Structure 1
Amino acid sequence: MALEGPSVSLGSLARNEYLPPWNRPHIIGIAGSSGSGKTSVASQIIKALNVPWTVILSFDNFYRPLSPAQREVAFANEFDFDAPKALDIDMVVDILHNLREGKKVEIPVYSFALHNRIEATTTIYGANVIILEGIYSLFDSRILEMLDLKIFVDTDLDICMARRLRRDIIERGRDLQGAMKQWFSFVKPNFQKFVLPTMENADVVVPRGLDNVVAIDMLIRHVQRTLVAKSRKHLEFLGRLCENSDDEVENTELDLDKYANVQVLKQSTQVEAMHTILFNRATSREDFVFHFERLMSLLIELAMNTVPYCMKTVTTATGMEYSGLEISKQVCAVSILRAGACFENSLRSILPAIAIGKLLIQSDSRTGEPFLHYLKLPPKIEEKYILLVDAQATTGAAAIMAIRILLDHDVQQEDICFVTYLADKNVAIRRILAAYPKINVAVGKVEDQIKQRFIDTQYFGT
C-alpha cells in the first residue's frame, strides 16, 4: 500500500496560533505477535531518524497491577498476560491523547520480576515522533484514530516462539517449562484470537520483521518525509507570527505604548550610560559583567511590578497599624539557557530564596527550527508566578517556545513575565505578543533589526 505524506491546512488554524514541534506528534503503531520483532523494527526506525525527540511507548508498561492472589497465579505461570483485559488500554488511550495535545505525561513502569508496577514513572514531554509498540497497538478503535501510521510485523510463529522462550528465560528469569506453558496456554491462542485479526487495520504489513530491509527502508523514508513536512509547517507558523496583528499596518513600527502588559526600563541618563558600556566592544569582561548585573537588577525590579500583590496590614515598631502590600503568589524564575543564566546572580541578589528552572532551546542548524533539548522546572510551577529570563530576544522563537512549555505545564499566561535585556521590537516583541497577548513583558532596551546575539558571549567571555 502506498504511503502518502501528511496534508494539513493552515487555513483551519487561528491566525496567531503557535504550534510547537511536539503538538500533534507523528504517532506510529507497531503490532504483531510476541517475539515478532516489533521492538527491533521500532528501534531501527529511531536509529535511522537520528533525532532525540523520538520515543518508544511500549504496551509492556501498561499491564494492570495485580492483587496478591493474582501474583501467586502469575508466579506459577498460570496468569494470562496476553489477553486484552490484562492491559490498561484506557490508560494508553488517555496518555496518547495527552501526548497528541503536546502535554507532559507520566508512564508507569512494570516489573516482570515482581509482576506489578513499581513506584517510579517515566516522564515524556516534547516528543516529535512516538512509536507505540505492543501486541495490541492496532486493537482498540480509539488508538487507531490517533495513529498516523499503522504497521503489523508478520513473522512465522515458530520463530516468534523461539525468540519468546529465549527472552523469558534469559531476561525474565523463567524456566523452560514455565515459558512453554505460557506460550501454548496463553500467547499463541490470544494471538490467533485477538492479535492476528488486527493485521487488517495496518497500513503496512512487514513480513519477516527486521529481515525485510526493503520494507523497513520504505517506512523510514516515509517518516523522514513526514518530519520534513512537519518542520516546514512549524517554521510557517513562526513566520506567520511576524505578520502584523489586525490593528497594525504592514511595515509600521509596533507601538508599545498601546500594550499595558509591556514594561520598558526608563531610559534615564544613568541607564543610557550603562547601555553604552555594554554595547562597546572594547569594554572588558569584568566591566561588562558588573554593569550588566547592575542593569539587570533594575530590570528585575521593574518585572516585579507585574507580580500579583494583595493588601496587608502590619503593626509598626511604634505600635501603629500600616496598610500596605505583599506578594500574593510565590515567585520563581525559569532561565532560557544559556543566555538566561546571565540573570541568575541578579535574581538571587533581589530574591535570595528564588527557585530557578532551566530550559535549553536550540535551533536546527539546517532549518533554523527551534527544539527543546533540556527541561527542569521548579515543582508545582502551575501555582507560582514565573519570571522567564533570556538576555536577548532577536527572533522571539525561543521565548515563544519557552512560554508554550510553561503553558503545557498548566501555567496561565497572566502568571508569566518574559524578562529580557535587549529585544527586537518589530520581530521578537511583535511575535510574542501576537502568540500570547496576555503575557507580561519587561525589557531593558528595544531596538530595530537586531542581527546577532552578543550578550551571553560577552558575559561568559566565550
Structure 2
Amino acid sequence: MSRKPMIISVAAVSGGGKTTITNQLKKRLDNSRALHFDDYEFEESPADICKWVEDGADYNEWNLAPFISDIHSILNDHDVHYIILDYPFAYLNSSMSDLIDLAIFIDTPLDIAMARRMIRDFSDSTLENIQRDVSHYLLRGRPAYLEMDMSVKPNSDIILDGTLPPEIIVEQIIKGIREKEKNSIN
C-alpha cells in the first residue's frame, strides 16, 4: 500500500543553513527527494526583496507555480517517502500551505548568518564588493532578515537552534518527523 510522501519545508535566513540541512536530510531519509527554492525563476514574483518587505511582505505575491508543479510531479512517484523543500516561507504562501506537512525553521543568529554568507558568497571578491554588500545589508537588507524572524519563524512547526552542528539539527528534525508520522497513524 503506498502512502503520500511527507513534505518537509526547511526555512532560515540567508546563510542560516537551509541548504546544508536539506542536503543532509536527503542523505539520511530513505526514498527522499529535495527541491531548492533558489533553483527556480519566479517570473511573477517580487523582483526587489527589500522593497517587498518595505511594502508589507505579502507572501502571496509570489507565484510559485514552477516549484509547486515539481512537487506535484514528485507526489506521483510512489517510491518517494519524503519531499524536502529548501523553502523560505513555511506556511505563509497560500498556494503552498496545504502541501506542507511539517515546517522547520532554523533559528540562526543574524551575525552568524552574515558571516556564513560572506564566506560563501565573497571568497573570491574584492574588499569593495564586500563593503558594498555589508552597507546594503545595513541600509536595506536587515529588515528582510528580521521579517523571517517575525513571520516565518512563528509559522513553523519546529524551531531549531541554528548554532548547533548540522548533524544535531538533522537528528532533531528526524525526531520531529518520526513524532509526526506516529501521530498521523494514531
Q: 1:31 to 1:136 in 2, by over 3 A?
A: same
Q: 1:169 to 1:86 in 2, by over 3 A?
A: farther
Q: Which whole-Å CA distance do the structure 2 matches of 1:85 and 1:182 have between them?
A: 26
TM-score by length of 1: 0.32
Q: For residue 193 of structure 1, what is the aligned residue in structure 2?
A: 147
1:127 aligned to 2:105? no
Q: Which whole-Å CA distance do the structure 2 matches of 1:186 and 1:127 have between them?
A: 41
Q: For residue 257 of structure 1, what is the aligned residue in structure 2?
A: none
SS in structure 1 at match of 2:48: coil
Q: 1:94 to 1:181 in 2, by over 3 A?
A: farther
Q: Which whole-Å CA distance do the structure 1 matches of 2:123 and 2:91 have between them?
A: 28
Q: For residue 116 of structure 2, what is the aligned residue in structure 1?
A: 163
Deviation at 1:28, TM superposition (A): 0.3
1:46 aligned to 2:11? no
Deviation at 1:25, TM superposition (A): 1.1
Deviation at 1:192, TM superposition (A): 1.9
Which residue identity does 1:156 align to in structure 2?
Answer: P
Which residue identity does 1:43 align to in structure 2?
Answer: N
1:93 aligned to 2:68? yes
1:61 aligned to 2:14? no
Q: Which whole-Å CA distance do the structure 2 matches of 1:39 and 1:131 have between them?
A: 10
Q: For residue 36 of structure 1, what is the aligned residue in structure 2?
A: 16
Deviation at 1:201, TM superposition (A): 1.2
Identify which of structures 1 and 2 has the higher relative contact order when contacts are C-alpha pairs closer than 8 Å and 6+ apart. 2
| Unpaired segments ≥5 residues, structure 2 | 53-58
Q: Would you identify which runs of 4 or more consecutive aligned residues in structure 1 move more than 6 Å?
A: 225-230
Deviation at 1:202, TM superposition (A): 0.8
Instruction: Say if 2:9 and 2:84, in contact at 8 Å, map to a contact too.
Output: yes
Q: 1:165 to 1:138 in 2, by over 3 A?
A: farther
1:154 aligned to 2:107? yes
TM-score by length of 2: 0.72
Alignment length (residue pairs): 174
RMSD, matched Cα = 3.6
Deviation string for 1:206-225 (max 9, x for gaps)?
01254376554232134357
Deviation string for 1:410-444 (max 9, x for gaps)?
xxxxxxxxxxxxxxxxxxxxxxxxxxxxxxxxxxx
1:80 aligned to 2:52? no
1:177 aligned to 2:177? no
Which residue identity does 1:145 align to in structure 2?
Answer: D
Q: Larger helix proportion, structure 1 or 2?
A: 2
Which residue identity does 1:30 align to in structure 2?
Answer: V
When Rg is computed on C-alpha atoms for both structures, the one with the higher figure is 1
Q: 1:85 to 1:20 in 2, by over 3 A?
A: closer
Q: Which whole-Å CA distance do the structure 1 matches of 2:6 and 2:38 have between them?
A: 21
Instruction: Say if 1:29 and 1:137, in contact at 8 Å, map to a contact too.
Output: yes
| Unpaired segments ≥5 residues, structure 1 | 1-18, 67-78, 104-124, 233-462
Instruction: Say if 1:28 and 1:150, in contact at 8 Å, map to a contact too.
Output: yes
Q: Which whole-Å CA distance do the structure 1 matches of 2:176 and 2:36 have between them?
A: 22
Q: For residue 27 of structure 1, what is the aligned residue in structure 2?
A: 7
Instruction: Say if 1:210 and 1:216, in contact at 8 Å, map to a contact too.
Output: no
Which residue identity does 1:32 align to in structure 2?
Answer: A
Deviation at 1:198, TM superposition (A): 1.5
Deviation at 1:137, TM superposition (A): 3.9
Q: For residue 56 of structure 2, what is the aligned residue in structure 1?
A: none
Q: Which whole-Å CA distance do the structure 2 matches of 1:165 and 1:30 have between them?
A: 21
SS in structure 2 at match of 1:127: coil
Deviation at 1:153, TM superposition (A): 0.7
Q: Larger strand proportion, structure 1 or 2?
A: 1
Matches within 5 A, 1:382-393: none
